[in-house]
Amino acid sequence: MSIEHDIETGKSDLSNISGLVGDALVQVTKLFQNEVDLAKTELGEKVQRLGKAFGLLAGGAVLVIPAIVMALFALASALINGGWSPTLAYLTSAIVAAAISGALFAMGIKRLDARSLAPRETIRQLEKDKDTVKGMMR
């Protein structure tokens, strides 16, 4: 009777182990699906943020161009009235415009930095999940 009991106990243990492995696989699958959902949500937010940034840049560019042109004409006019030659006054205005333009481009490019658009929360959570799955497999 001892051998039969051991066989039944072994079958029961095997059934329990296979159940545990099955449960672990279900949990890993759910975890993976949750991470995919988190990544979708986070990337969607980043795309919206990017769209808003482009919209603001475009709107600002459209509205600032006439203002800058008028300010540059006023600067050139003031320089001419101050005794500068028209050529030198307009050249100075062009240099000022180039400096402003360079600053605006630099600020726009800085806001489009790939590191600020990366899905950091998803990456952090995936690292935690990887460690959790490794712990489950030990």
Give per-residue pLDDT as tens, 42-98: 888 888 888 888 888 889 888 888 988 899 999 999 999 999 999 999 999 999 889
**Residues 50/117, Cβ–Cβ less than 8 Å:** yes
* Whole-number pLDDT of residue 138: 64
How is residue 33 written in tokens? 């699906």
Top mean pLDDT of 15-24, 83-92, 103-112, 123-132 is at 83-92
pLDDT, the chain, mean: 81
Please report how many Cα atoms fall inside a 13 Å half-sphere around the Cα of residue 67, on the Cβ side: 6
Q: What is the residue-wise DSSP string for 22-49?
A: HHHHHHHHHHHHHHHHHHHHHHHHHHHH
pLDDT of residue 27: 81
Report whether pLDDT(6) > 60. no
Query: How far is CA 111 from its chain centroid?
Result: 10
Task: Please give the average per-residue pLDDT across 24-46, as a whole number.
Answer: 81
Closest C-alpha among 104, 121, 109 to residue 45: 121
Distance CA 138, CA 125 (A): 20
Confidence of residue 10 (pLDDT cuts 50, 70, 90): low
DSSP letters spanning 48-92: HHHHHHHHHHHHHHHHHHHHHHHHHHHHHHHHHHTT--HHHHHHH
Which is more confidently placed, 137 or 95? 95
